[in-house]
């Protein structure tokens, strides 16, 4: 491999000749050979947004000339399009402020910009990082990346699943089945009502996630090193937030208290809590579906789901609810991520939280996994759910809890006696009720209508 010599405030470093990064990136690359987790692409693209926004703000405030501003913006657009993806090699497990990733972006923008210009117009610190600090840029990138991921990945996936649940709900109107509580037989429910519960969970979670965006739209940019705004001109924070809004199409604003913005990560914790709520509901929905489809002969078997692949290397013909299993594993991962995010956010000592890379890594992983799981689950499972009406009807009329319909006519205690006798002697509720003398056969038929109990 060929190298070139770059330097920073600590001296010279050998850097791969074909890279745009510089000495500070190289130091981090060599000093943190930890794990395989790299800084998420969403963060790099968010950095490109904020660097262009900072350049625009500096230009509007008279600190940066038009040529350099345009050059920074041009490279930032290359980064946003993914054209320079190979230039960001740093690990998540680096400095907790994300300083080295901030400098990675600064160095790539400066070196690529100078290459485009054919002369050295940009300096990583003095030009690209003008009016900024890693301490306010990294939390800003976190918020931009979080809002963008929610809007572009998760909400579309949620909307598609909600629409599919609505279709399934309409398709199954009028189909009555046995309800279950405590994993035991309960009174009847319409299958469409059961599906409506799933749909409503997703709708409620969508609302929670969107509500949690408010804190994420507040940006730390302008606070610089400790929240005082040292070396940033008056009005920079407001202009930068305005430019971020223009570039993303989402409404951002400057955080009123920069001391809070740098040291607290409560907005991300709150938002990830909404992601955890979605994970919990997805776990419930996936479990319901796999249990309802259990069998095919020794389980509940009340619904059919798509058979996508062989389920066993030893048992011929076995097919498993694999999409449900994938969803439940994703849910567990998101719940684990929530613990990591919460603990990391509690470590905002004095003027800075130094757990920011792991916070945003987990947050973005949760969004990505939830969105992908929703899409896969919808396409490969939910779209193909069909009610086993024959089995539903059989289970419904075999349920002892239908006796609840007799409460108004024979009372709770007599109804309980009826159910117990029917279970003990393996006879129908009608036979038990008549045998006990509580109702005549004609009166039983007159008042007993399971399909009307929903």
Q: Which ranges of 314-355 would DSSP assign to H, the alpha helix?
A: 322-345
Residue 283: predicted pLDDT: 98
The pTM score is 0.96
| Structure confidence by residue, pLDDT tens digits, 267-294 | 999 999 999 999 999 999 999 999 999 9
C-alpha pair distances (Å), 131 with each of 53, 77, 105? 11, 20, 15
Mean pLDDT of the region 112-122? 98
- Structure confidence at residue 14 as a pLDDT band (50, 70, 90): very high
Residue 1: predicted pLDDT: 87
Residue carrying structure tokens 């990136």: 25
C-alpha pair distances (Å), 54 with each of 101, 165, 400? 17, 43, 69
Residue 76: predicted pLDDT: 98
Tell me how crowded residue 40 is: count the other CB atoms within 10 A of its CB: 20
Ordered DSSP codes for 96-107 = TT-HHHHHHHHH
Residue 170: predicted pLDDT: 98
Spatial separation of the C-alpha atoms in residues 214 and 290, rounded to whole Å? 36
| Structure confidence by residue, pLDDT tens digits, 64-84 | 999 999 999 999 999 999 999
Exposure string (b/e) for 158-197, b if CB count within 10 Å is 16 or more?
A: beebbebbeebbeebeebbbbbbeeeebebbbbbbbbbbe
Residue 289 makes CB contacts below 8 A (sequence gap 6+) with 303, 305, 321, 324, 381, 382, 385
The catalytic residue positions are 182, 312
- Structure confidence at residue 29 as a pLDDT band (50, 70, 90): very high
Measured N-to-C along each axis, helices 66-80 and 41-60 cross at an angle, to the nearest 10 degrees, of 160
pLDDT at 419 over 90: yes
Tell me how crowded residue 205 is: count the other CB atoms within 10 A of its CB: 23
Tell me how crowded residue 400 is: count the other CB atoms within 10 A of its CB: 16
| Structure confidence by residue, pLDDT tens digits, 304-325 | 999 999 999 999 999 999 999 9
Nearest to 152 by CA among 326, 449, 386, 371: 371
- Structure confidence at residue 100 as a pLDDT band (50, 70, 90): very high
| Structure confidence by residue, pLDDT tens digits, 371-406 | 999 999 999 999 999 999 999 999 999 999 999 999
Total residues found in the chain within this entry: 454
C-alpha pair distances (Å), 59 with each of 89, 115, 140, 307, 433? 30, 21, 20, 59, 87
- Structure confidence at residue 154 as a pLDDT band (50, 70, 90): very high
Nearest to 87 by CA among 116, 117, 107: 107
Measured N-to-C along each axis, helices 23-31 and 99-117 cross at an angle, to the nearest 10 degrees, of 140
Angle at 292 between CA 286 and CA 298, to 5 degrees: 130
Would you call the peptide bond into 296 cis, given omega within 30 degrees of 0 as the criterion? yes
Burial of 315 (0-12, 13-18, 19+ CB in 10 A): exposed
Angle at 389 between CA 384 and CA 395, to 5 degrees: 125
Instruction: Give percent of the chain with pLDDT exceeding 90.
Output: 99
pLDDT at 451 over 90: no
C-alpha pair distances (Å), 113 with each of 121, 159, 316, 322? 8, 40, 61, 49
C-alpha pair distances (Å), 441 with each of 324, 399, 428, 433? 45, 19, 12, 9
Helix, strand, or coil (residue 19)? coil
C-alpha pair distances (Å), 46 with each of 26, 137, 152, 169, 241? 21, 10, 13, 39, 13
Nearest to 88 by CA among 115, 70, 106: 106
Asked if residue 229 lies in contact with residue 258, where contact means CB atoms within 8 angstroms, the answer is: yes
| Structure confidence by residue, pLDDT tens digits, 188-226 | 999 999 999 999 999 999 999 999 999 999 999 999 999
Structure tokens at 108: 């790539």
For residue 180, the cross-strand partners are 185
The mean pLDDT value of the chain amounts to 97
Taking the CA atoms of the chain, what radius of gyration do you get in angstroms? 30
For the chain, which domains are there? Answer: 20-130 (1.10.275.10), 147-174+183-216+257-389 (1.20.200.10), 399-453 (1.10.40.30)
Phi, psi angles (nearest 5°) of residue 197: -65, -40
């Amino acid at each position: 491999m060929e190298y070139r010599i770059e330097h920073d405030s600590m001296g010279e470093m050998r850097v791969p000749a074909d890279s745009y990064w510089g000495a500070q990136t190289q130091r981090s690359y060599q000093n943190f050979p930890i794990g395989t987790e790299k800084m998420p692409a969403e963060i790099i693209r968010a950095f490109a947004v904020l660097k262009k926004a900072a350049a625009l703000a500096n230009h509007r405030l008279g600190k940066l000339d038009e040529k350099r501003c345009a050059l920074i913006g041009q490279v930032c657009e290359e980064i946003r399009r993914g054209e320079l993806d190979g230039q960001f090699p740093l690990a998540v497990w680096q400095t907790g402020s994300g300083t080295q990733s901030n400098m990675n972006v600064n160095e790539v923008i400066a070196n690529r910009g100078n290459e485009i210009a054919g002369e050295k117009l940009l300096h990583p610190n003095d030009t690209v990082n003008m009016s900024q600090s890693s301490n306010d840029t990294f939390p800003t990138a976190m918020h931009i990346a979080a809002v963008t991921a929610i809007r572009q990945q998760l909400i579309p996936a949620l909307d598609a699943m909600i629409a599919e649940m609505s279709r399934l709900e309409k398709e199954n109107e009028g189909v009555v089945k046995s309800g279950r509580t405590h994993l035991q037989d309960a009174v009847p429910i319409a299958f469409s009502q059961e599906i409506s519960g799933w749909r409503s969970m997703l709708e409620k979670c969508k609302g929670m996630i969107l509500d949690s965006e408010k804190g994420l739209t507040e940006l730390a940019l302008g606070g610089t090193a400790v929240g005082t705004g040292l070396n940033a001109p008056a009005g920079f924070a407001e202009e930068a937030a305005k430019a971020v809004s223009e570039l993303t199409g989402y409404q951002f604003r400057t955080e009123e208290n920069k001391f809070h913005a740098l040291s607290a990560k409560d907005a991300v914790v709150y938002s990830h809590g909404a992601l955890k709520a979605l994970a919990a509901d997805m776990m419930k929905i996936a479990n319901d579906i796999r249990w309802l489809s259990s069998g095919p002969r020794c389980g509940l078997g009340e619904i059919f789901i798509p058979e996508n692949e062989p389920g066993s290397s030893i048992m011929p013909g076995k097919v498993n609810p694999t999409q449900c299993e994938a969803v439940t594993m994703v849910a567990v991962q998101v719940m684990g991520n929530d613990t990591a995010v919460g603990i990391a956010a509690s470590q905002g000592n004095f003027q800075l939280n130094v757990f920011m890379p792991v916070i945003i890594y987990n947050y973005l992983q949760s969004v990505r996994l939830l969105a992908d799981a929703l899409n896969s689950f919808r396409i490969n499972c939910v779209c193909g759910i069909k009610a086993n009406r024959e089995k539903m009807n059989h289970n419904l009329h075999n349920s002892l809890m239908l006796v609840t319909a007799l409460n108004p006519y024979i009372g709770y205690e007599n109804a309980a006696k009826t159910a117990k006798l029917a279970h003990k002697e393996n006879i129908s509720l009608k036979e038990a009720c008549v045998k006990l003398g509580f109702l005549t056969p004609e009166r039983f038929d007159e008042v007993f209508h399971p399909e009307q109990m929903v």
